[in-house]
Amino acid sequence: MTHDLNALKAEIESHLEANGLIVFYGCSRALDDVHTVHWDVDRHPEYSAFVKAARDVGVKMIVFHHREFGPGFVDDALERLEESDMPAEESRPLEHRLRDLRMYAGFTCALELSFDYQERVYLFELRTEWYLEFLDALEEIDVYFPGDDDEDDEDPIGGYYSRN
């Protein structure tokens, strides 16, 4: 896969327009809820097949989302790493990996197409390999991030206080 999905982004936009679909530029829907059906991009990576499926069921509008890798993404991750409880022998290589990802600032790192059909969200999502590496690094950091979970378990007034 390419390091920058920007050319593919333009190609998808042209394809959607050529197929007479309304493009709604929306936010990511990847984490919406359990009613999301994910397209198998590993076996069927072509977005055109996803668009054809949408058209075949009568969809008129596709939600299109793209994510650009901002320069602050790495800085925020490094700050979070510094605040974590990760041992130095593990954090140093992770810090170097994160710093190496700075070269992708400004690149399109994720593309997402989705549509609604019969109370389900159908989703096509592509991410660059380096962006997946970045997300993996964030997950590694989260394992060592000090949380407030222990405090929540020890409610001093026996659960009668709502934190809503």
Enumerate helices (H) and strands (E) in the chain, giving the number of each: 6, 5
Distance CA 112, CA 64 (A): 6
Of 27, 41, 39, 20, residue with least CA distance to 122: 39
* C-beta of residue 64 within 8 angstroms of C-beta of residue 25: yes
Distance (Å, whole) CA 19 – CA 63 = 14
| Total Cβ atoms within 10 A of residue 154 | 6
Judge contact between 17 and 23, C-beta under 8 A.
Answer: yes
Strand partners, 121: 36, 116
pTM of the model: 0.81
Contacts of 138 (CB under 8 A, 6+ apart): 77, 80
Sketch the domain layout of the chain as residue ranges. 6-145
**What pLDDT is recorded for position 146?**
67
Where would I find the beta strands (DSSP E) of 31-144?
Answer: 36-38, 61-68, 108-117, 120-127
Q: What is the pLDDT of residue 32?
A: 72
pLDDT along the chain (164 residues), means of 10: 86 96 94 86 95 97 96 94 92 95 96 95 96 95 73 45 40
Q: Do 124 and 50 touch, CB atoms closer than 8 A? A: yes
